[in-house]
A and B are shown apart, each in its own frame.
Chain A
């Protein structure tokens, strides 16, 4: 096994993958990519690995993968088959996938809002903030109902890939001016994620809590 992650340390999509690598305790190499301002991932040689010019990229032998959620699914299938991260039971599997789609689609507004706020990447800051708040509110409402059902994580009583895909945007939301005030259920959930074995922080997420 030889895993290589092409990553930019301040990118929350790469952080999703780092969280799972930590949780599974998988040894891996990291290639630091100058995403901002260098946009190194849009030029050779990286553009040959991923023609879409995005990060992160995972290389595992002959396998080359892009999209954080796809990489999470791949790693869970390959190194934790039948384990807790990707439930096999159809209902839990479906709900895990729904949150992974949500993380990549709805929550992407928060990623863009953060890039606009921190790195001056062009973007409609007001629309992105509204979309980010809508996404966080949907997450908060869900975790209120989960708490009533005695389920501490997004899909059930134990953490799945959904939690790892959703955590970075919420934990980093203060970078673009969205405080955690309005999300008490998400604050409690974030503490649970932080307590998972193998959890690691990234810049913007303090070690203290």
Chain B
């Protein structure tokens, strides 16, 4: 995990608002498959996306209360990753050895963050009081290329790795999630409180995001072709 291409730290893996209570979603970080899920009480969790039983992706499963269950055989895991219930053996006291691998995670700035590496450092802080989550964009481009695309506009990096830029004349922050070598996600937050934004502001920034994506993909395409 200390691979220099995979710097330790906190990485945004989803917009908090995109994760409804009682749901799960698959994602990746440096190629590792993760499940991001929110229990019925509202807490978000980030785990390895793999049921210890047969390796089935837990993101294909379903959330019941504060447990997530595998789609294959219904094995249920509690919020700490401990298997608590095996439907084929309902009376069995499940061994404490049967655990899903978990990552440290937290919700901040409207994003769900996961810790990568043994020493991820302090959790993210944008130094902003109130941000408005906008959307996540998924690109078939490496994270480094997306960071480069922001380099012109960015007015200096932030400790948390959030990039700062302007879209449609509105300040935005971007958290880049390296999904795999050739793919990344860019999570966009508007650097203004939601009550200071009209719907049309948000729609304009959302449209500008799409234009930004077209320009990144077009530029990369030229380079790839040359």
A binds B: yes
Given contacts A145-B203, A149-B199, A206-B62, contact A181 B28 (CB under 8 A): yes
Query: What total of chain A residues lie within 8 Å of the partner, measured CB to CB?
Result: 19
Q: State whether B71 touches A206 (Cβ < 8 A).
A: yes
Chain A contacts for B79, CB-based, 8 A: none
A125 CB-CB contact with B under 8 Å: no
Given contacts A149-B199, A181-B28, contact A144 B135 (CB under 8 A): yes
CB of A73 within 8 Å of the partner chain: no
What chain A residues lie within 8 Å of B61 (beta carbons)?
208
In this assembly, does B26 line the interface, its C-beta being within 8 Å of a C-beta of chain A?
A: yes
User: A209 CA to B24 CA in the complex, in Å?
Assistant: 9
Whether A188 lies near B62 (C-beta < 8 A) is: no
Check if A179 sits within 8 Å of B20, measured CB to CB.
no
Tell me the interface secondary structure of chain B in the complex: strand
Contact at A184–B71, with CB atoms within 8 Å?
A: no
Q: Restricting to B136-155, which residues have a CB under 8 Å from any CB of A?
A: 136, 138
How many chain-B residues does the 8 Å CB contact rule pick out? 25
Q: Determine whether A95 belongs to the interface, using a CB cutoff of 8 Å to chain B.
A: no
In the complex, chain A residues whose CB is within 8 Å of the CB of B208: none
Instruction: Indicate if B25 sits at the interface (CB-CB under 8 A).
Output: yes
Q: Which of A148, A182, A208 contacts B206 (CB 8 A)?
A: A148
Contacts of A144 in B (CB 8 A): 135, 206
B26 near A179: Cβ-Cβ < 8 Å? yes
Let me know if B25 and A148 touch, CB within 8 A.
no
Q: Which residue from chain B places its CB closest to the CB of A144 in the assembled complex?
A: B135
Contacts of B101 in A (CB 8 A): none
B12-27: which have CB < 8 Å to A? 14-15, 18, 20, 23, 25-27
Contact A145 B206 (CB under 8 A): yes
* Docked complex: B26-48 residues within 8 A CB-CB of A: 26-28
Q: Residue-by-residue, is B95-119 near A (CB-CB < 8 Å gives 1, otherwise 0)?
A: 0000000000000000000000000
Looking at the complex, which one of B25, B27, B62, B210 makes contact with A208 (CB distance below 8 Å)?
B62
- Asked whether A108 is an interface residue with its Cβ less than 8 Å from the other chain, the reply is no
B107 to chain A, nearest CB (A): 15
B20's partner among A141, A149, A188 (CB-CB below 8 A) is A188
* Residues of B contacting A187 in the complex (Cβ-Cβ under 8 angstroms): 18, 23, 25
Please give the residue numbers on chain A whose beta carbons come within 8 Å of chain B beta carbons, in ascending order: 141, 144-145, 148-150, 174, 179-182, 184-185, 187-188, 191, 206, 208-209
Given A148-B206, A149-B199, 8 new contacts (CB under 8 A): A145-B203, A145-B207, A149-B203, A181-B26, A188-B18, A188-B20, A206-B62, A209-B62
14 contacts between A and B (CB under 8 A): A148-B202, A148-B203, A149-B199, A149-B203, A150-B199, A179-B26, A180-B26, A181-B179, A184-B25, A187-B18, A188-B18, A206-B60, A206-B62, A208-B61
4 pairs of A and B residues whose beta carbons are closest in the complex: A182-B138, A184-B18, A208-B62, A148-B202
